[in-house]
Amino acid sequence: MNALAATNRNFRHAARILGLDSKVEKSLLIPFREIKVECTIPKDDGTLVSYVGFRVDPDEVNALAQLMTWKSAVADIPYGGAKGGIGCNPGDLSKSELERLTRVFTQKIHDLIGVHTDVPAPDMGTNAQTMAWILDEYSKFHGHSPAVDLGGSLGREAATGRGVVFATEALLAEHGKSIKGLTFAVQGFGNVGSWAAKIIHERGGKVVAVSDITGAVKNPDGIDIPELIRHKESTGSLKNFQGADSMDANELLVHECDVLIPCALGGVLNRENAADVKAKFIIEAANHPTDPEADEILAKKGVVILPDIYANSGGVTVSYFEWVQNIQGFMWDEEQVNKTLQNYMTRAFHNIKSMCQTHDCNLRMGAFTLGVSRVARATLLRGWEA
């Protein structure tokens, strides 16, 4: 099932649980706006190449935008949801080609983004540097020029991974467990995966397996994560790391562990591998890592899944703190960012649990009903009369 069909299915299930009016349901399913732009750049060798950029596309980006909407509502921050992207493999482009492409994309969408309309943020294959290029290009049209470090919040880089850890702690506490002494397998070692693994390691968790696009490593006694980060930074991959054995990357999702944390692509848990998952808990740090068929198989096995729209909401929550700080022109210290993030993550977890109790549903439906009911309530209050 593709990402959009799966996301729509979860939304419809939540709408049924909530008894949502079918017209409201239909209205919430259709994106407010879809943008598709052509981005042509000269490559470093002088040849021209064209890419297509989106701010919400008809399929995967639509699903991700929809997830952002429910996620912002679950986190209880005053944002809607959108997602953008360019159909390219960033790994195939040089840094200057990436910069040109990002700037051309920004030229095409600058009228439709902005502080009070739509704020882009990093996701897979993008980072703070990408956002700085967008900001700089946007500023040429709109004259916006924040001061310190281009206005990025302290703690934003680690925020999604840190939020994943706060979410994991909230879930484990409910089951009478803590991170210390449990074993973890982490798929993806980019922004989210490396930060989540590092903080778990600091808190006494044993990260026994990690993968990236180049392969996977395992060590039943626990991998030294700071060492692995240094190795990845210096070599660009997990290969040849001395502190662990290499393993088949496909094995990672079914590796022996207490907690599995997918931090890479969508749809990685599906009917092909769900039955073989050994973990008792899955923390969805990636967006949409579990397709609906896998959801059913895993539920039958008694695996507890902490859904993406809550588990990875630390990123957008700190993006919201960043927005608040820039509007006020007053920067918080990192401790305040992290402490406030923890409060948001803990509160959201209890709100989800309360929906689970009210509607006798699992955590995914608890999160969906929480997010969808908040957006539906706001939509109904605004009304449709001209």
Ligand X SMILES: O=C(O)CCC(=O)C(=O)O
Query: How is residue 264 written in tokens?
Result: 């890479």
| Number of residue whose CB is nearest ligand NDP | 190
Shortest Cβ distance from residue 71 to ligand X (Å)?
6
Q: Is 71 annotated as a binding residue?
A: yes
- One residue of 5, 213, 275, 380 binding ligand NDP per CB under 6 A: 213
Closer to ligand NDP at the Cβ: 29 or 265? 265
Instruction: For 20, list phi and psi in degrees, rounded to 5.
Output: -70, 140
Kindly report the three-state secondary structure assignment for every residue of 253-269. HHCCCCEEEECCCCCCE
Contact status: 130 vs ligand NDP (CB under 6 A): no
List residues near ligand X by CB under 6 A.
Answer: 68, 71, 121, 123, 287, 312, 315-316, 319
Among the residue ranges 23-31, 74-82, 97-105, 121-129, the one whose residues contact ligand NDP (CB under 6 A) = 121-129
* Angstrom distance (rounded) from CA 257 to CA 279: 5
Query: How is residue 263 written in tokens?
Result: 């931090």
- One residue of 106, 153, 191, 369 binding ligand NDP per CB under 6 A: 191
Place of tokens 């991974």: 161
- One residue of 62, 69, 312, 369 binding ligand NDP per CB under 6 A: 312
140 is catalytic: no
- The full length of the chain comes to 386
> Which candidate in 23, 36, 83, 301 is catalytic?
83
Scan residues 259-298 and list those touching ligand NDP (CB under 6 A): 263-265, 285-287
Residues 6+ apart with CB under 8 A from 309: 67, 70, 71, 74, 367, 368, 371
* Angstrom distance (rounded) from CA 157 to CA 191: 7
Contact status: 332 vs ligand NDP (CB under 6 A): no
Closer to ligand X at the Cβ: 84 or 366? 84
Transcribe 12-45 into DSSP letters: HHHHHHHT--HHHHHHHHS-S--EEEEEEEE-TT
Closer to ligand X at the Cβ: 312 or 351? 312
Shortest Cβ distance from residue 180 to ligand X (Å)?
28
Closer to ligand NDP at the Cβ: 11 or 195? 195
- Binding mask 156-185 vs ligand NDP (x if CB under 6 A, - otherwise)? ----x-------------------------
- One residue of 31, 53, 81, 122 binding ligand NDP per CB under 6 A: 122
- 3-class secondary-structure state, position 171: helix
Shortest Cβ distance from residue 191 to ligand NDP (Å)?
4
Place of tokens 């001395």: 242
Contact status: 192 vs ligand NDP (CB under 6 A): yes
Residues 6+ apart with CB under 8 A from 306: 167, 168, 171, 281, 282, 283, 284, 363
Residues 6+ apart with CB under 8 A from 226: 198, 201
Contact status: 222 vs ligand NDP (CB under 6 A): no
Closer to ligand X at the Cβ: 79 or 241? 79
Closer to ligand NDP at the Cβ: 18 or 189? 189
Contact status: 240 vs ligand NDP (CB under 6 A): no
* Angstrom distance (rounded) from CA 52 to CA 297: 37
Q: Is 126 annotated as a binding residue?
A: no
* Partner from ligand X, ligand NDP, none contacting 247, C-beta within 5 to 8 A by type: none
Helix (H) or strand (E) holding 187: strand 183-187
In the chain, the amino acid numbered 273 is N
Q: Is 172 exposed, middle or buried (0-12, 13-18, 19+ CB in 10 A)?
A: buried
Q: Which residues are annotated as a binding site for NAD(+)?
A: 160, 191
Q: Which residues are annotated as a binding site for substrate?
A: 71, 319
Catalytic residues: 83
Residues that bind ligand NDP (CB under 6 A): 122-125, 160, 187-193, 211-214, 249, 263-265, 285-287, 312, 315
Q: Which residues are annotated as a binding site?
A: 71, 160, 191, 319
